Structure 1
């Protein structure tokens, strides 16, 4: 990734530029922002970015003054000027400082992206040229193989393969990937790479290379068996002790010649790209089982057709205090998503939606009682940024179960009282005996018998009676009949008329006039 800093006195524009442009897709990383020239100079003194994106007119030190100072100190960053003024004189002065592009505000996304792509090409050529000027070390040759710069028939590659690695019978790529992309984390990664080089490369056990965004460890005569690989993985974790963020480790297939190294690399990279689907802390190989394996997915009564129905069910489980059913319910959704080959983003979005809908619907009192050390927004952010599917599901399960236990204020009462209380609070929803049976872990026929025995009424008759009682209260408040019907759970107003007249002996309109 090439580095970028954004300098503009307008906070909204700085934020907008960070979110508007797909920086990572274009091969860039925004490492800092500044509100003016002096602040930008302080950043340059610590780290010189590859690209400077700067407003030409700012209070204090403007963009042109900043450029003049940067060039005077010999800093050769590429520069894109932004201006709200179509001013030829400013453009002319900017160009004398070696500006790559001069763009007018408001910023056009496509135009800025095109300028960045052009700069990326120039930076890549410069980087490659610098690499070519280096001695043809094993690290450099490995870089060439992975980047496709050289083929196996090149003479220097043959010479290298006949050197100290000649005793290697096989070659195998081990890739280390990282979650972070901030500048300070990048520095830690490079320090970790140096530690690995001292450990492996110095003793000719392997070759270590930073091949962004990964650390590559090329091993010859790889460890034997699962025990050997587990020992190597443990060693890597010990060496990474100073890292303040997580890493994933993946192993490519073993190959027998240098020109096949790229295949081992690609295998490992594919595993890292799917690290979300594995348990945290595992050494990923082609044999490592994913957390939710497709062959374990079975059809169940809980399988639901869409996310709205899933959210509906999760909220009900929380609301009725059925904490014990939440984990298995969420795990089944995860299994189903994996079986349908949903990708990482789709699964994140699905579970974020479920968590958000439930948190949005519960009473604020429940959240304060749950003991979660933060606001709902913090919880939802943690959900969305969970790095592994198991962590994602478990994080939601734990909080939902806490909420359910708080909602279960009648836990020592019998379940029929809880059920009746639930109906009294949710009479306007599309309640069905079959759905409640699943929530309360009964068969629908058994729950129906239990309900009749406890209340003396069949479920539907009881629900109609509660709804009509609520309807009478609303009619007394002069609400329109069709509004009352919808509020108490009858989508068909004619059906509401029929039920009301059957139970009250008169139409809702007549009842309202009487009142």
Structure 2
């Protein structure tokens, strides 16, 4: 954990920052607070924090004077400046002292958390660099310096260095191993994994293992030729990782012929890990690995699956009528169209959260209780952001929606036509169409129209109008205004409602209301 000091003369802000930010989750712990620059200096004389959050405006010694004194004393700490004033002159002066960021009050939680996360990686890299500098001619330092760009390629012959270190291999390939959600520099399980990796792949001189934040790097002198070799490596890495294997992502970069070109292989592997959400889990990623949903699903053309409102409308109806078998297909097609359109991971997660949340909001709480889901709806929704791949995300949401649909499926106690009429009765105020019902209940439109006429003696639209007018009569009896009733039962045009009512009831809505 890296230590943090909060320096601000406002007690509420000091307390607020301690509780607002998930410090431990970001890899930090609060070592203390100070109400002034002088108090902060007294504390750092005993312990220098890794990070200081400093307010610009404070009585006595202000934030800029504190930063100046810290730099004069050459203290090894990183500073983030907070200010209630959008003053660019203050920002310019603060930047002279090497601050990591300048944030305006009130502090935005997401913005500060993102800055702290970025700073965590920077501090980790700096510490590692200091450590490995003590072994300037080691294999690990050579690889690290090439990946970080700190190696002076003109001052030394890499061919000679590779030969002296026993790294004059015919080919090189970088394999990156990541554990999303874990802190590699803090987690003892990851350190143990790296030790086992060194014993398995570096002890014989045919590989190099090092930590390059946030990745464990495995540089291979024997490249991964063929699917069997790649699958074999992935299985071995899973075995070595032990209990944390379920959180492991692995990617191999391109094969290069020269030591100085290993950064190219590294960049390829890193780009794959950056997009790991779009790949199926359980395999080693390579430039040849196909992305999930890129070409696997034929996308429906009858609705735009990029229109979140239309898809949520369809998903809710599928749940409501108990059409569980169609839910996964709808979500698969939604994911496929978003991938094909180039939507990012965040946008896809947000869209699936919206679809699930809208469905739960409209669905009867009874269905949730009957679904016997091990948790509350809020826990299920939060889990959307914990799914590691797009296919996991689709399966996670689909499984719960299918649970709800099966609880809503009452075909065992009613025939399908009664089920359909009940659906119309409950959704009469919405934009119902015969074509939509046909798709929900898996009929052709023409056949359903005939079936409907045979069962009710009326065509679909006429039946729907009668249901709406019956509902309107109930509302008029309660004293609701005519234009309000029209909208409430599904007619956007009050004149159209007036004509329909008079045609069916033989009198106008207002006349009916007066008689009642």
Q: CA deviation at 1:129?
A: 5.8
Change (3 A) 1:160 1:416: same
Distance 1:347 1:6 in 2: 37
Distance 2:67 2:294 in 1: 58
Distance 2:122 2:158 in 1: 27
Asked if the contact 2:197–2:209 (Cα under 8 Å) also holds between the matched residues in 1, the reply is yes
Distance 1:476 1:198 in 2: 83
Q: In the alignment, what sits opposite 1:221?
A: 222
SS at match of 2:281: coil
Q: In the alignment, what sits opposite 2:42?
A: 68
Q: In the alignment, what sits opposite 1:23?
A: none
- Which of residues 99, 123, 127 is equivalent to 1:115? 99
The count of residues paired between Structure 1 and Structure 2 equals 483
Change (3 A) 1:411 1:109: farther
Asked if the contact 2:54–2:63 (Cα under 8 Å) also holds between the matched residues in 1, the reply is no
SS at match of 2:388: coil
Q: CA deviation at 1:90?
A: 9.5
Q: CA deviation at 1:64?
A: 5.9
> Where in structure 2 are there 5+ consecutive unaligned residues?
103-115
Asked if the contact 2:231–2:283 (Cα under 8 Å) also holds between the matched residues in 1, the reply is no
Q: In the alignment, what sits opposite 2:50?
A: 77
Asked if the contact 2:425–2:467 (Cα under 8 Å) also holds between the matched residues in 1, the reply is yes
Change (3 A) 1:318 1:91: same
Q: Supply the RMSD in Å over aligned alpha carbons.
A: 3.3
Asked if the contact 2:56–2:64 (Cα under 8 Å) also holds between the matched residues in 1, the reply is no
SS at match of 2:175: strand
Change (3 A) 1:186 1:66: farther
SS at match of 2:233: helix
Q: In the alignment, what sits opposite 2:260?
A: 259
Q: In the alignment, what sits opposite 1:472?
A: 473
Q: In the alignment, what sits opposite 2:105?
A: none
Q: CA deviation at 1:418?
A: 0.7
Asked if the contact 1:179–1:245 (Cα under 8 Å) also holds between the matched residues in 2, the reply is no
Query: Which TM-score applies when normalising by structure 1?
Result: 0.84
Distance 1:292 1:101 in 2: 44
Query: Residue deviations 1:244-301, cap 9 Å, x none?
Result: 7601011111111112211111111111111111111111112222221236434444
Distance 2:341 2:266 in 1: 28
Q: Which moved more, 1:175-184 or 1:90-99?
A: 90-99
> Where in structure 1 are there 5+ consecutive unaligned residues?
20-27, 35-39, 42-53, 58-62
Asked if the contact 1:302–1:329 (Cα under 8 Å) also holds between the matched residues in 2, the reply is no
Q: In the alignment, what sits opposite 2:35?
A: 56
Asked if the contact 1:197–1:207 (Cα under 8 Å) also holds between the matched residues in 2, the reply is yes
Q: In the alignment, what sits opposite 2:309?
A: 308
Asked if the contact 1:175–1:214 (Cα under 8 Å) also holds between the matched residues in 2, the reply is yes
Asked if the contact 1:292–1:338 (Cα under 8 Å) also holds between the matched residues in 2, the reply is yes
Query: What are the equivalent positions in structure 2 for 1:341-490 lying under 5 Å apart?
Result: 341-490=342-491
Change (3 A) 1:411 1:378: same
Query: Residue deviations 1:125-160, cap 9 Å, x none?
Result: 786566445322111111111112226554252222
Change (3 A) 1:383 1:76: closer
Change (3 A) 1:260 1:312: same
